[in-house]
Amino acid sequence: MNTSQATKIIIRPYITEKTFALIEKDSRICFIVDIDASKASIKEAVKTLYEQDAIDVNTARTISGKKAFVKFESVEKARDLATKIGML
């Protein structure tokens, strides 16, 4: 997967108070993703864009779009990525 395909899948990070708590509590970061994106493609897009391995991906369809909750190996890795993309 190249960078342009990955940016079509992952639209933007989703930032709320609840998602801040998920970073510290559960090593998860929430993204708004393309409505047709699969869990495997989201996982691959995270690796391509942010050079981090995702352990697990859960998705939910909401009014604001499709959300992907991406779990990372440790709280430190999730915190570092959140800092890198401007969430923290």
pLDDT at 38: 97
pLDDT at 64: 83
Q: What is the pLDDT of residues 62-81, one digit of tens each?
A: 998 999 999 999 999 999 99
Residue 45: pLDDT over 90: yes
CATH number of 9's domain: 3.30.70.330
Q: What is the mean pLDDT of the chain?
A: 95
Range of the domain at 70: 3-84
Looking at the 3D structure of the chain, how many domains does it have? Answer: 1
Burial of 4 (0-12, 13-18, 19+ CB in 10 A): exposed
Q: To the nearest whole percent, how much of the chain has pLDDT over 70? A: 100
Neighbours of 64 (CB within 10 A): 8
Give the pTM. 0.93
pLDDT at 41: 97
Q: Is the dihedral of CA 22, 82, 9, 43 positive or negative?
A: negative
What is the token pair recorded at 76?
């430190």
